[in-house]
Amino acid sequence: MSRPITAHVALGANLGDARATVRDAIAALDRLPQTRLLRASGLYRSAPWEASGPDFINAVAAIETTLGAHELLHALQALELQAGRERPYRNAPRTLDLDLLLYGDAVIDQPDLSVPHPRLRERAFVLLPLAEISPALVTADELQAVADQVIERL
């Protein structure tokens, strides 16, 4: 059996009952095979970033898993589909968006998976909830760089 890895997942939704969807998705992470939820941030509201539609509800979860990075990505995509995720065009409004932010210390640069997530450090809706649950992973300078982005902790 593989050694457990701590991974961080960003969650977001802006269609339907987004709060309930994000809460349900956090619980679903704990039910993934070979995975357990370590901690989850509170919920945040943010305006769409390079996207359209209503405000997003966002959170970040830390999980421990023995799934490989690609296995985890596929499990996250399956959760998105179960929540009714469609991809009619880039950055379309969504019922659920799950992004693998970090997979331990791994650096992966493949067509279907980039870890650390390439836009992780550009988005307040990721950095603030990440800093809430794993403060050592986010610097004060990074938080300052996104301070002009509108985000509200719910």
pLDDT (mean) for 112-125: 94
Check residue 2 and report its DSSP letter.
P
**What pLDDT does residue 1 have?**
58
Annotated catalytic, 23?
no
Domain 5-153 top-level CATH class: alpha beta
Is 101 a residue whose pLDDT tops 60? yes
Annotated catalytic, 94?
yes
Instruction: Say what the pTM is.
Output: 0.94
Choice among 23, 97, 112, 141 that is catalytic: 97
Annotated catalytic, 99?
yes
**What pLDDT does residue 86 have?**
66
Domain limits of the chain?
Answer: 5-153
Q: How far apart are CA 82 and CA 148, in angstroms?
A: 34
| Burial grade of 11 (CB within 10 A; 0-12, 13-18, 19 or more) | buried
In this predicted model, what pLDDT tens digit does every residue of 54-97 receive, in sequence order? 899 999 999 999 999 999 999 999 999 898 866 655 655 678 99
Choice among 30, 85, 119, 141 that is catalytic: 85
In this predicted model, what pLDDT tens digit does every residue of 128-154 receive, in sequence order? 999 999 999 999 999 999 999 999 999
Choice among 55, 99, 141, 148 that is catalytic: 99
User: Token pair for residue 81?
Assistant: 């589909």
Choice among 30, 36, 94, 121 that is catalytic: 94
Say which residues have a Cβ less than 8 Å from residue 60's Cβ, sequence separation at least 6. Answer: 8, 9, 10, 11, 40, 41, 101, 126, 129, 130, 132, 133
Q: How far apart are CA 59 and CA 50, in angstroms?
A: 18
